[in-house]
């Protein structure tokens, strides 16, 4: 696990070549995504834009002071009573959307606005983003139109809260990579905040709640060995460990796509079980997909990998936020800068449950 999978996730600290693709398949750009979306950039432009966004949005100095008030803000969107039986996926997604915007921008979304932003996640349009152009053509571009309208509606929410100066400020700091307008940067920024930040945190929050219910989100429940006793009490004993273990076993982001920066020869088996691995050459520019979820179930890395154990000593070695928590951004340049924001929101949502009182 350490060499092939961790190297794929970070290239051992070197720049990682990216392209507009998901699942090692080219995606629709600029029809579906902005042409300059940070997720697809690399090199100096990626470093400059990411650095500006991190400085303005995800550093603790920007959001940590709001964390104490977060549960009170989210409680306004929660059901009454709020427990593991009444808190639905749709409700959870709206609450998470409101939490991300509150911590990043210091504003409170209305119920209607939260419902709009929530559509960036799995219960909304997230599945449409990974489809190649062919699928969208077969669907007569109907799915593309929904996403385009979501972009418009989200920018309307952004403007309604007088956040355009934020986009203008960041855009002015980009130097040679300044966008044609603050609105263009705002469109890119909304993809990062909502597609990655809201969508990923929605999935992680729901996965945590599902584990508390002794079930799963994407993987089969039989693929997880739950410990005896109350999962609620297990969470109370170690909230952050519980959340990390839930993500290890049912990861919000299972894989990512990058590009071979140079020609590569890789040994693998393309025939039946009777044959063995053989070398295959891939030219420079070939898309490759690295799978984080498989690494997190590697028995050579995690003892009893199917067992739910929030107290495992090496829990921070999980690859979930596009890198191992134990390595962070120093080892994994594309490690999610919103990691702490995401886990803070997950804990705030769980704190709303009557079972936590």
| pLDDT tens-place values along the chain, 357 residues long | 222 233 333 333 457 888 888 888 888 998 899 989 999 999 999 999 999 999 999 999 999 999 999 999 999 999 999 999 999 999 999 999 999 999 999 999 999 999 999 999 988 999 999 898 899 999 999 999 999 999 999 999 999 999 999 999 999 999 999 999 999 999 999 999 999 999 999 999 999 999 999 999 999 999 999 999 999 999 999 999 999 999 999 988 877 788 888 998 988 777 666 677 888 898 998 988 877 778 999 999 999 999 999 999 999 999 999 889 999 988 988 999 999 999 999 999 999 999 999
Q: Are 294 and 5 in contact (CB under 8 A)?
A: yes
Q: Are 91 and 99 in contact (CB under 8 A)?
A: no
Q: Are 229 and 332 in contact (CB under 8 A)?
A: no
Q: Where do the structural domains in the chain lie, given as residue ranges?
A: 4-356
Tell me the CATH architecture of domain 4-356: Orthogonal Bundle (1.10)
Query: What is the C-alpha separation between 174 and 176, in angstroms, rounded?
Result: 6
Provide the pairing of β-strand 255-259 with 25-26: unpaired
Contact partners, residue 120, CB within 8 Å, separation at least 6? 97, 126, 150, 154, 194, 195, 198, 199
Distance of CA 83 to the CA centre of its chain: 25
Q: Are 5 and 290 in contact (CB under 8 A)?
A: yes
Q: Please compute, for residue 163, the number of CA atoms within 13 A of its CA located in the half-sphere on the CB side.
A: 24
Query: What is the C-alpha separation between 39 and 23, in angstroms, rounded?
Result: 13
């Amino acid at each position: 696990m350490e060499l092939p999978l961790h190297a794929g996730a970070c290239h051992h600290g070197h720049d990682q070549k990216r392209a507009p693709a998901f699942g090692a398949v080219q995606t629709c750009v600029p029809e579906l995504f902005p042409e300059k979306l940070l997720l697809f950039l690399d090199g100096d432009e990626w470093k400059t834009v990411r650095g500006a966004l991190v400085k303005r949005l995800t550093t603790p100095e920007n959001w940590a002071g709001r964390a104490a008030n977060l549960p009170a803000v989210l409680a306004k969107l929660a059901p009454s009573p709020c427990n593991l039986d009444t808190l639905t996926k749709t409700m959870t997604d709206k609450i998470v959307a409101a939490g991300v915007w509150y911590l990043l921008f210091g504003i409170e979304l209305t119920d209607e606005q939260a419902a709009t932003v929530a559509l960036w996640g799995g219960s909304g349009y997230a599945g449409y983003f990974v489809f190649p152009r062919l699928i969208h053509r077969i669907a007569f571009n109907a799915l593309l139109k929904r996403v385009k309208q979501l972009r418009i509606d989200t920018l309307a929410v952004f403007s309604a809260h007088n956040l355009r100066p934020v986009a203008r400020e960041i855009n002015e700091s980009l130097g040679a990579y300044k966008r044609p307008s603050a609105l263009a940067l705002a469109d890119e920024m909304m993809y990062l905040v909502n597609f990655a930040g809201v969508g990923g945190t929605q999935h992680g929050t729901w996965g945590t709640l599902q584990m508390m219910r002794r079930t799963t989100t994407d993987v089969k429940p039989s693929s997880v060995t739950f410990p005896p006793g109350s999962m609620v009490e297990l969470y109370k004993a170690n909230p952050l460990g519980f959340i990390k273990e839930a993500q290890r076993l049912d990861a919000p982001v299972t894989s990512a796509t990058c590009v071979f920066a140079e020609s590569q020869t890789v040994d693998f088996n393309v025939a039946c079980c009777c044959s063995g691995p053989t070398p295959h050459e891939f030219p420079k520019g070939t898309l490759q997909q690295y799978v984080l979820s498989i690494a997190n179930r590697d028995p050579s890395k995690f003892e009893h990998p199917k067992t739910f154990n929030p107290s495992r000593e090496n829990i921070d070695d999980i690859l979930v936020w596009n890198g191992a928590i134990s390595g962070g951004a120093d080892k994994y340049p594309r490690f999610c800068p919103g990691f702490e924001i995401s886990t803070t929101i997950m804990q705030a949502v769980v704190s709303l449950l009557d079972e936590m009182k």
